[in-house]
Amino acid sequence: MEYKVKKRNGEIVKNNSGQNDMLDILYKTIGGNIALKGLTSPVVSKAAGAFCNSFLSTKMIPTFIKKADIDLREYEPGLYGSFNEFFTRKIKPEARPVDKTPEAVVSPCDSKLTVYKIDKDSIFEIKGVSYHVEEFLRCRKLAKKYENGYFCIFRLEVSDYHRYIYFDDGTKSANRHINGFYHTVNPVALEKTDIYRENTREYTVLHTDNFGDVIHAEVGAMLVGKINNFHQKHTFKRGDEKGMFEYGGSTVVLIFKENTVEFDDDIMKNTTEGFETVVKMGEKIGKKKENK
C-alpha cells in the first residue's frame, strides 16, 4: 500500500517502497501473519531491544545513516556504544528552533501529521479504520471532555528524530501506561489491525498556559518502539524535552478540546485530501483560537 505525504511547500514526498513491500508481506499474507504474531509480542520486542542496546548493534549504524539519508551535521557529535545510543542521539538546538510565540501551536516532534475533527460521538477515521477516543484513552469521563475537539496524529518513521518536546508551558499529571502489542504505525498495518487500540501506549494530561488541558500520548511500534518519558508530575516550559522513543517507528498524539485551537490551512487541506504533512519539532502548525 502506498500512502501520501506532502511537505509544507506542497511538494509530494516519494514513498519508502522497500519498507512498504516488507509490510505488505507481514500484514497481507498467511505466512506474514504467522510471523507477525511473534514479531509483535512483548518478548520479541524486548529481545530486539536488548540487541539494539548492545555493542554488536553498532554495526547497523553506517547502513542506517545511508539508507535513511540522515544529515549528521544537524546532530550533537558523539561516540555511540550501541545502535539505540545513536537512534536517540540529540539534535543541535539551532537545527530545530522552537516557535516561542505564546499563541502558536508547535509540533512536538519530527513527523508526518494528520489532524482530525472529533465528531459528536467521539469517533474519527484514519485510513479507513474508525476509532473512539474513549477506547484510545480507556476512560469515558476523560474522552467526554474532548468531544468536538481535534485528534492530531504525528507519525514518526524510523528516519525521523525520535525525541519529543512539550509544545507549551504548563504542568502535567502522572502518566497512564496501557499495555498492548507493538505494531508498525505505517498505514499498511491499519488495513489489518486497529493499532491505536492494540499498541502499547502512554498518555498524560498537560495543563497548558495557552491551550487549556491537552492530552499528549505516545504509541509504541514494531519492533521495539519503547516509550521513555522523563517525568511523572512535572512543571515544564515550551521546548523542554518530554521523552524519546527507542528503535522503531512510533507515534505521538495530541488531543485538544473544542474551541481552543485552529490548525494551519495547508495541514487541514492535506488531511482532507488524504495526505500527511511533514512537520519538524518546534515548527508552528496552528494557533490559539480567539473566542469572541
Domain range list for the chain? 7-292
pLDDT, residue 131, reads 59
- Enter the C-alpha cell of residue 236: 515544564
Q: What is the pLDDT of residues 177-197, one digit of tens each?
A: 988 654 444 554 445 444 444
Q: Is 110 a catalytic residue?
A: yes
| Distinct helix (H) and strand (E) counts, the chain | 10, 18
Split at pLDDT 50, 70, 90, the class of 39 is very low
Residue 189: closest CA among 24, 30, 3, 37: 24
Q: What is the pLDDT of residues 261-271, one digit of tens each?
A: 999 999 999 99
111 pLDDT more than 70: yes
Strand partners, 173: none
Annotated catalytic residue within 45, 82, 122, 250: 250
* Cell numbers 516557535: residue: 99
pLDDT, residue 127, reads 37
pLDDT, residue 179, reads 80
Helix (H) or strand (E) holding 50: helix 42-52
Annotated catalytic residue within 82, 110, 168, 169: 110
Q: What is the pLDDT of residues 199-214, one digit of tens each?
A: 778 999 999 999 999 9
107 pLDDT more than 90: yes
Q: Is 159 a catalytic residue?
A: no
Give the predicted TM-score (pTM) of the model: 0.84
